Structure 1
Amino acid sequence: MSVVRDINGIDSIRSKPKVMIYGVGYYATEAVRILVRRGWPIVAAVNRAGPKIGKDLGQVAGLEEDLGVIVQDCETADYAALGADIALVVQTERLSSNLSAYRRLLGAGINVICHGSESYFPQVADHELADEIDELAKRTGATYTGTGIWDFSRIWPGILIAGPCTDLHSLTHRSLTNAEVANERMMRAYGVDMTQAEFAERVTATPGELGELYKGIPALVMHGLGFTITKVNERREPVLSDCPV
């Protein structure tokens, strides 16, 4: 428990929420280690079918001790019986790919926190899915929050930089990613080892894993500044190397 003092100087007791993990991958296990260090109770974990099902979450996260939380199959878990207050959805960047998780969790009245890029601003990513998520949350009184490293690395700096401006005519966001430090899945998604023709077909012409994700950043900045967004253009182009990769 923690003691919180409100604006009137009155102390109140706030219990640490009971957390569940939805998707036990690289970022999720890092979150597990942080939660354990902070003493937040983890009550459940689910994952797609595979070798992690049936294992203790402590083992999966590389801890030196078991947590007493067995990873369950996300397709068969009884979400209403898990006793979780908050679920960390750590799966994919896309609303459409995460929608089944949102439906299960919000339907059980569990508050959702998601690190996926499109969860930051669902209305810009997919208006119809955003409306469905909103309706699900309102129906059960749950909440839906998109968050991650973009809060301080991309979104707030854009808002702060605009602060001193007396006139604002345009906003440009560029993102350059060093795929060399990413894992193999991310390297493939970023187009490492593709020819220019392959990049044009698989990354430029279609959303793929990463295409259209970054448009939410300038949209969030402009929304935060009080503007109405009418059009967003995005261009994806490769950085070429003269050495084989």
Structure 2
Amino acid sequence: MPTVKYRHLLIAAVLLVTGIISPQAAIASELEVIIGFHEYPGPSQQELIHTLGGQISREYRLIPAVVATVPAAGLATLRDHPLVAYIEENSEVTSIDPPYLPMLFGASVLPAAATGDEYEHSWGVQHIGSKAAHSQGITGKEIKIAVIDSGIDYNNEELDDNYRGGYDFVNDDDNPLDDSFNSHGTNVAGIIAAEKNGTGVVGVAPEASLYALKVLTSFGSGLTSDTVAAIQWAVDNKMDIINISIQGEDKESLR
């Protein structure tokens, strides 16, 4: 029994030194990782993972990579295999809350102060001067914008006409409603495309089409794997612009 314990400790030490996993994950018997290959995965790559006791949960088309749960003892073998370009832990991503991000909507309710000229309360418009563009009819019409975030409150009166759909990668369904504690995705969507309806605020592109790609939970955190999947969705559905106001570790899969 002591021999088995020391073997596990040695494997963990090797994985830490080579940078495959974080210190927190080193004690786990198996890990969820993103495995990048030199070529798009086929039978050979799948067999390699299965031979080492791994299970593939997602395959990407945008990049030559898969998401898989793999025994910790097999990670070093995978890393050294000629088919493999990189292995990285499926780490956490979180929302970005810089001090200049205004809380435009709160819990789907416009602030009481947002009355009168809607341009006066519009942070994004003021900072890039898009009111002049609006006066010339440049409002983002027919531009498709994917918001990769905590979802969007598509019932909000400032966003409902511009919302076109999306996907919830957290719950794996087609209802990407924002249920985050700070309405992060809804606020980001408002800065981008709040409607010019004479009340509240107006976005920098008030006639753009909004698509919500939910990758963050109600607590404002998510996974790298879902973020990559959301980017793939945006490419597949021919989005013109992708907005990602989230942060995380530098990852090969996101480059």
TM-score, normalised with respect to structure 1: 0.27
Which structure features the higher share of helix residues? Answer: 1
Structure 1 or 2, whichever has the larger Rg, is 2
TM-score, normalised with respect to structure 2: 0.26
For CA contacts below 8 A with separation 6 or more, give which structure has more relative contact order.
2
Which structure features the higher share of strand residues? Answer: 2
